[in-house]
Amino acid sequence: MKKLLSLIGAISLIATSSTTVIACESGGKDREKEIDYETLVKKLKMEVNEIFTKHLDENVYKNLIGIPDTETAYSFLTQTKIMENSNKSAEELDPYDLELLEQDIKKVLELDQLISDLNQLKIIDDYKVILNDVDNLLKNVLFDWSSLKILSYESNDEDKLYLGNVLVNYKVEIQFKGEEKIETFIIDEDFKYTSTNSNSLKKANDDFSKNIAKDYFLSNNETDRRHTNLSWDNIKGNKKSSDGFGRIDEQLKKYYQTDSETNGFKKSIIDFTKVNYFDKQNNKLPLLFEGEIMYKTSEMNKYSMSSAVNKWKSFNDSESIKYDYKEDDGRILLDTVFREDPEKITSKNNLSSYYFKNSNLKIWKKDYENIKDDFLRSLNIDLNNKIKEKDEYKKSTALGYVNLTGLSINLGKGAYIHQLPDFKIAVNYSVDFNQSDAKILDEMSHFTLDTLKVWHEVFKVYHGYPYPKHNSDEDFLIALKKSELTKEMTEIFPTEGDENKSSQVFFRDAFSLSNTKIFNKYHDELFEKANILENSWYYMVFASLDSLSPSERKNTAFDWSANNKIGINLKWNNNNQTMNNQVMTFRFGYLNFHIDLNKITMGAKELGNKELVKFI
């Protein structure tokens, strides 16, 4: 009888789960106001997740299926130990065996290599302020032993096919220096190890785990392509067409989990897997999806049109979007974004006329083409591949991965269900594959109008205030209703006795909702209600005109102050006149532009003191 082969899923235990910040042991110096901790930590988490994902793909997946020759390195992850302890809980294991199991799992995870890879971040200048005080970024790997399952199966035929499973949840704990203490964030993952006596089983697993994402994405079978080329119009349910430019996680979960049987995805992925990785070995397997747990997470943000639009470009960049308040388009855009009620019909028209223009879309598409190439490189797909000629690819809104779980092998007619590791598929997504450029811009404008409504709600913008004459010395940026938020904003500005009052960082942190844990709830509310992609950057800042980053600390020609009864004030100090004192950048969702405020800020030079923001 031919040896059975099983499908061992790709070890793409992608670290995209939510991160939790935990205060730990104290350490480090007092917080320096010029350090944008929130931005640094956000960037750190993204890079750590990418390093961890790459580590799993390149170093760990090959270890997740063991055969007798490889298991000589282990003390517990062997056929003998697994069969002896099959169906035992962690509490039922000999304590010494549990220690051996933990040691073996850490060997499989190749933690020394992970520690080395993560510590490369310590040499990056931007991170030194939050990483110099920790010896290693990896603080610990914590195991949830209550989730431990040890399973085994051995056939009764002459081949004596053996399969063993060791399953447990674990957490990777990453540490860094916060504003006042050493803090950590957590990456939650699942460990799924297969032990077998079949060499061909390991070969089949290696082929699958290395190639399933790429192969399924490039499949020419129309049935398969239907599941890797998703249109918002087909998955939106009762959502608006423009909502497709925001978060789509719920719709992806419904498609790949809840509806996977009725929409044909379940059958497609099983058939593709058997034909391309198992039938080639002349073996047949009764593959199935165990239960209904299939969708884990998605990664559709990094390689998206949203990332292209939200990309940081300095004022001096020839392709950055710029306005001048003394010109009609700048005046109308500023009024639309910061002053007028987004519910007004003119707001949508103004966004369409002055921002969502073909000239801007051309730039965004150009930037997105480079992002799309980066995605193909991540899959090791040649940039000359014919997939770039497909209409769906040309009309893409986002490219990314969907992380799945649930593939299993049913042996002995249900007597033994062998769980397989998680895997991912690559996906091309479009709001509408048939949209024209005009329709894309219109839907972007609709989506952005909805996000602006939330921005006005969170900041409690006072609509209808009688502003002074446009671009007069008395003109100011925005009127806000007094609230708990304006009170919190006021408290981060310098007081009379502070030495440094000229840094734009006070304005940046207040309006970007960054750098204090107090602002976190407002930031989270803003992103969640506005349906903004989680990896998107939000900034309202006066950066250097050639700045490589919006988070830099730069002094201005003003002394900044704030009073919760009055607002935010500028006092001309006659210093730093060569710095940027009038160009503000607004970067929120699909809005990303610079605007020269002219006398809104520079009126302080004539008046000595003036209001920039009024609290009503």
Percent of the chain with pLDDT over 90: 73
> How far is 556 from 569, CA to CA, in rounded Å?
13
Residue 594: which of 311, 319, 322, 354 has the closest Cα? 322
3-state DSSP assignment of residue 316 = coil
Of the pLDDT bands very low, low, confident and very high (cuts 50, 70, 90), residue 499 is confident
pLDDT at residue number 432: 93
Assess contact for 164 and 194: CB atoms under 8 A. Answer: yes
Helical segments of 327-467, H only: 328-334, 345-354, 358-378, 391-394, 437-459
pTM (2 d.p.): 0.85
Residue 20 has pLDDT above 50, yes or no: no
Of the pLDDT bands very low, low, confident and very high (cuts 50, 70, 90), residue 14 is very low
3-state DSSP assignment of residue 244 = helix
Amino acid, single-letter form, for residue 447: F
Identify the residue with better confidence: 29 or 541.
Answer: 541
Q: Classify residue 85 as exposed, middle or buried by CB count within 10 Å of its CB (0-12, 13-18, 19+).
A: buried
Indicate left, alpha or beta for 203 from its phi (over 0: left) and psi (-120 to 50: alpha): alpha
The whole-number average pLDDT for the span 399-419 is 82
Identify the residue with better confidence: 34 or 452.
Answer: 452
Identify the residue with better confidence: 118 or 202.
Answer: 118
What is the distance of C-alpha 200 from the center of its chain? 37
Identify the residue with better confidence: 583 or 514.
Answer: 583
- Distance between the two ends of the chain, CA-based, in angstroms? 83
Residue 11 has pLDDT above 60, yes or no: no
The whole-number average pLDDT for the span 474-478 is 98
Residues 137-162: pLDDT tens digits? 999 999 999 999 999 998 887 778 89
CA dihedral sign, ordered 318, 319, 323, 328? positive
Residue 405 has pLDDT above 60, yes or no: yes
Residue 492 has pLDDT above 50, yes or no: yes
The pair of three-digit structure tokens given for residue 255, joined into one six-digit string: 């498609």
The whole-number average pLDDT for the span 414-430 is 86
Of the pLDDT bands very low, low, confident and very high (cuts 50, 70, 90), residue 33 is very low
CB within 8 Å of 587: residues ≥ 6 apart? 310, 312, 537, 538, 539, 540, 541, 550
Amino acid, single-letter form, for residue 245: F
Residues 62-99: pLDDT tens digits? 899 999 999 999 999 999 999 999 999 999 999 999 99
Between 61-75, 103-117, 538-552, the lowest mean confidence (pLDDT) is in: 538-552
The whole-number average pLDDT for the span 409-427 is 80
Between 39-48, 144-153, 238-247, the lowest mean confidence (pLDDT) is in: 39-48
What is the distance of C-alpha 49 from the center of its chain? 9
Most confident of the ranges 474-488, 525-539, 575-589: 474-488
pLDDT at residue number 5: 34
Identify the residue with better confidence: 612 or 8.
Answer: 612
For the chain, give percent helix, strand, coil, nearest 5: 40, 25, 35
Residues 165-189: pLDDT tens digits? 999 999 999 999 988 899 999 999 9
Residues 296-349: pLDDT tens digits? 999 999 999 999 999 999 999 999 999 999 999 999 999 999 999 999 999 999
pLDDT at residue number 31: 34
pLDDT at residue number 7: 32
pLDDT at residue number 10: 29
pLDDT at residue number 414: 67
The pair of three-digit structure tokens given for residue 315, joined into one six-digit string: 């004022």
> How far is 238 from 259, CA to CA, in rounded Å?
16
Q: At what angle do helices 484-491 and 517-530 cross, to 10 degrees?
A: 130
DSSP 8-state assignment for residue 454: H
